[in-house]
Structure 1
Amino acid sequence: MGRVVGFELSSQDPEKATAFYSNVFDWKVADPKWNFWAVTTGDNDSSGINGGISKGPADFPHGTRIQIEVASIDQTIKKATENGAMVVREKMEFDDFYLAYLTDPTGNGISIFERKE
């Protein structure tokens, strides 16, 4: 685990952002769920990753986070904070996964993602 599985672009105007990326790069944009618009950046025959555009929270209004899949979100949060990370959003539960937002010791925003089994 620890593989980058996606990205999240934060925006205070996600509708405008989705229109931009769709028009400029031909990304396919799904209907929003939880203020998150999933995007498909290309076909499965080429390299690359998919991600999404979200309505950025006040404390992270703009920017990009990579999404890293982990086996245990709780263990990863513990290990990350022991190594200098700061938790921006505690573990959140969604239908099929858990998600948390962190910043690494240098200030880069990341999200960690655990699939429910």
Structure 2
Amino acid sequence: MKNLVNWFEIYTSDFERAKKFYTEVFKLKLTDISTNSDRHSNMKYAVFSNTENKKYVNGALVKIDEAKPGVGGTLVYFSTEEINIELNKVEKAGGKIIRPKLQVGDFGFIALIEDTEGNMVGLRSMK
């Protein structure tokens, strides 16, 4: 069975600041890519590092005039080994902890954070 979700975009107002936040908190690589679009000449796009592995959900940070960052949009959960590791990095990287680690029955643990752009994103782990 395929993953129901196969792509996500996290919108930014300050593209470089957002890239720095996700790199610092999750210790991952973001790769800038060209969109080859005259219509969206000011669009910026950076793909999360696991996009070459087709087994996982993939996505990007995006700066585009048509979509603004903020709470109330799509909520993306990042998988973690142990949520407190990433939570301990959030405020140092310029974000906020919205909801600390919370157990959700047999589904493990979740937490909510706000990135530097005002987007709320989730963390999820089994321990």
TM-score range relative to shorter protein: 0.3 to 0.5
How does the TM-score come out when normalised to structure 1? Answer: 0.47
Name the structure with the higher strand share.
Answer: 1
